[in-house]
Amino acid sequence: MNSLIKFYRFLLPFESLAITTNLTFPEVLQKLDEIVEPPKTWRMPLRFQKSHKPYGGTITGNTFKLRRNINYRNSFLPIITGEIHPQPSGCYVKINMNLNMVVMVFMIFWLWTPGSIGVLALLAWSVDRSVGAIFLPLFGMCIFGWALCLFGFKIEAKKSKDFFARFFN
């Protein structure tokens, strides 16, 4: 099971961050409340429509679920979930960043379809070389989709990781 999780983390983007801070639990909640606005049901990324706070989402008890407010489209924007654990000398904040579930399902479908057809084409090519190397563009499509997803996610995740590392320390 552990190797399956490592394989999943290799294929689909995932980030985690653990921050220990000297702030108390109410101070952490207050600081989060300063940067988080309630989620909007319909967000149109218009240039003249600026958000007042850098993140949108919900804070419930000791957990939160956020998305960065951006003025452009990025389907690979991380969904940030976190837990705040009070400790004797401050708090421990555990943050996970994942893809949106709809985007994840779409990417699995996108990578699975040409990948499985590519494997079949590779098997046919290995048996009969006159078939042609049709598997190359199919594998190229898989690599392109994976790289698009990975880089779109990692760029946004790095911005959020840097923000939260500075924010809580």
Q: 49 lies in a domain? A: yes
Q: 137 lies in a domain? A: no
Q: 118 lies in a domain? A: no
pLDDT tens for residues 83-134? 999 999 899 999 999 999 999 888 888 888 888 999 888 898 888 888 778 8
CATH number at residue 21: 3.30.530
Q: 109 lies in a domain? A: no
Provide mean pLDDT across the span 8-37.
88
Number of structural domains found in the chain: 1
Domain membership of residue 18 as a residue range: 2-103+143-168
Q: 115 lies in a domain? A: no
Q: 164 lies in a domain? A: yes
Q: 15 lies in a domain? A: yes
For the record, the structure tokens of 102 come out as: 């709809």
Model pTM greater than 0.75? yes
Q: 126 lies in a domain? A: no
